[in-house]
C-alpha cells in the first residue's frame, strides 16, 4: 500500500444544503429563474457541482425550496406586523407599513417575489408555494379582517407590489396609503 495515494478526508459540511438554497436565492436575484442552473448555484455556494445532485433531485426541487424559504421569510413579516397591531386601525397602519417598508423596501426581495410569481404561472410545484404563502398571509390578515376582506386585501397587496416592481412611475407611499385606506373604508 505504500505506492497508493492516500484518500483525502471527506469534508464535513453539515450546512451545505442550506447554503445551496441561499445560493439559489442569490442566483435567482441576479439572473432570474431562467438563468438559474445547478452550475451557477454551486459556483455561488463555492461547492463542487456534484453537491447539487447529492442534495437535490432536480433544479425544480431547488427552486421550490428556495422560494419556500423566501415566502416563509415574507410571511413571517406579515405575522409580526399584524400580531403587533392591537386593533383594526393599527392593523391598517401595519398593512401600509408592510407594503411600503417591507415588501417594497428591499429591491432584492421584490425581485425574488416577482420571479416567484412569474415562475409559478408555469410550474405547478411553485404554484403550490405561492398558494401556501397566500394562505399564510391571509391567516395573518384574518386576525383583524374577515376572511373575504383578508383575501381581497391580500390580492391588493400583491397587486401593489407587482405594480411597483413593473412600473416606471411606481406609487408613492402616500398613494399606497390612500389605496389601502380607500379599499378598507
Round to whole Å and give the CA distance between 119 and 107. 18
Do 13-56 and 59-184 have matching folds? no
CATH for 13-56, options being 3.20.20.140, 3.40.50.720, 1.10.10.60, 1.10.1300.10: 1.10.10.60
* Residue pLDDT, tens place only, 87-145: 999 999 999 999 999 999 888 889 999 999 999 999 999 999 999 999 999 999 999 99
Q: What is the pLDDT of residue 117?
A: 92
Q: What is the pLDDT of residue 178?
A: 97
Stretch 79-91: mean pLDDT: 97
CATH T-level topology, domain 59-184: Tetracycline Repressor; domain 2 (1.10.357)
Decide if pLDDT at 3 tops 70.
Answer: no
Integer CA distances (angstroms), 145 to 72, 88, 104, in order: 21, 8, 23
Round to whole Å and give the CA distance between 176 and 157. 9
* Residue pLDDT, tens place only, 4-62: 666 555 566 778 999 999 999 999 999 999 999 999 999 999 999 999 999 999 999 99
Structure-block grid coordinates of residue 79: 405575522
The better pLDDT of the pair 150, 15 is held by 150
Rg (CA), the chain: 20
- Residue 14 has, within 13 A of its CA and on its CB side, a CA count of 0
Q: What is the pLDDT of residue 12?
A: 66
DSSP per-residue string spanning 26-54: HHHHHHTGGG--HHHHHHHHTS-THHHHH
Burial label for 59, CB within 10 Å (0-12, 13-18, 19+), is middle
Round to whole Å and give the CA distance between 161 and 135. 17
Q: Tell which residue, 113, 108, 109, has the closest CA to residue 159.
A: 113
Q: Tell which residue, 79, 32, 26, 23, has the closest CA to residue 51.
A: 23
Round to whole Å and give the CA distance between 97 and 180. 11
Find the length of the chain.
185
Q: Confidence class of residue 163 from pLDDT cuts 50, 70 and 90?
A: very high
Q: What is the pLDDT of residue 4?
A: 64
Domain segments of the chain: what residues? 13-56, 59-184
Decide if pLDDT at 152 tops 60.
Answer: yes
Amino acid at each position: 500500500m505504500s505506492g497508493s495515494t492516500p484518500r483525502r478526508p471527506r469534508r464535513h459540511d453539515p450546512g451545505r444544503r442550506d447554503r445551496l438554497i441561499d445560493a439559489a436565492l442569490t442566483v435567482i436575484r441576479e439572473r432570474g429563474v431562467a438563468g438559474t442552473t445547478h452550475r451557477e448555484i454551486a459556483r455561488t455556494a463555492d461547492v463542487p457541482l456534484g453537491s447539487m445532485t447529492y442534495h437535490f433531485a432536480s433544479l425544480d426541487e431547488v427552486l421550490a425550496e428556495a422560494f419556500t424559504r423566501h415566502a416563509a421569510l415574507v410571511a413571517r413579516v406579515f405575522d409580526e406586523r399584524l400580531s403587533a397591531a392591537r386593533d383594526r386601525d393599527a392593523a391598517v397602519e401595519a398593512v401600509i407599513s408592510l407594503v411600503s417598508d417591507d415588501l417594497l423596501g428591499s429591491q432584492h426581495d421584490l425581485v425574488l417575489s416577482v420571479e416567484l410569481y412569474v415562475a409559478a404561472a408555469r410550474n405547478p410545484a411553485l404554484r403550490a408555494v405561492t398558494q401556501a404563502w397566500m394562505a399564510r398571509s391571509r391567516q395573518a390578515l384574518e386576525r383583524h379582517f374577515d376572511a373575504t376582506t383578508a383575501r381581497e386585501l391580500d390580492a391588493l397587496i400583491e397587486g401593489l407590489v407587482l405594480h411597483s416592481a413593473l412600473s416606471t412611475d411606481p406609487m408613492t407611499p402616500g398613494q399606497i396609503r390612500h389605496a389601502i385606506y380607500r379599499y378598507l373604508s
